[in-house]
Amino acid sequence: QKEVEQNSGPLSVPEGAIASLNCTYSDRGSQSFFWYRQYSGKSPELIMSIYSNGDKEDGRFTAQLNKASQYVSLLIRDSQPSDSATYLCAVRKLVRGSTLGRLYFGRGTQLTVWP
């Protein structure tokens, strides 16, 4: 079982719609949760982090965490064509022999926002 599972998509939404991206993780001891965006041919960049249950909003982005269900989501409101990218869910968990834990990435969900 993979540490982090994501639906690889592709997810296609029209401009102005809400895009919903989902992620589940296997270890209840996971501590911190992140969403990275990766444009085609580019490197990942952090867009959201969340550490406690509930919602966290930053502009058009909202991250949601439900530790009981081991579920993380990212909502993008008023989606724009420039949001078209792969969104990687990442989870930090403690591992033996590694201080600060280790960051595990999902395979990513490809999002296309069409005009």
Instruction: State the residues that interact with another protein by CB under 8 A.
Output: 4, 8, 32, 34, 42-46, 49, 88, 90, 92, 95, 97-100, 102-103, 105-108
Residue with tokens 């403690």: 94
Torsion angles phi and psi, residue 57, rounded to 5: -110, 140
Least separation in angstroms between CB 105 and another protein: 3
- Between 9 and 17, CB nearer to another protein: 9
- Between 17 and 112, CB nearer to another protein: 112
- Between 61 and 105, CB nearer to another protein: 105
Q: Considering only CA atoms, give the Rg of the chain.
A: 14
Q: 80-113: buried (b, 16+ CB within 10 Å) or exposed (e) per residue?
A: eeebbbbbbbbbbbeeeeeeeeeebbbebbbbeb
Least separation in angstroms between CB 115 and another protein: 26
**Separation CA 71–CA 52 (nearest Å):** 12
**Separation CA 47–CA 45 (nearest Å):** 6
Least separation in angstroms between CB 77 and another protein: 23
Least separation in angstroms between CB 5 and another protein: 11
- Between 19 and 36, CB nearer to another protein: 36
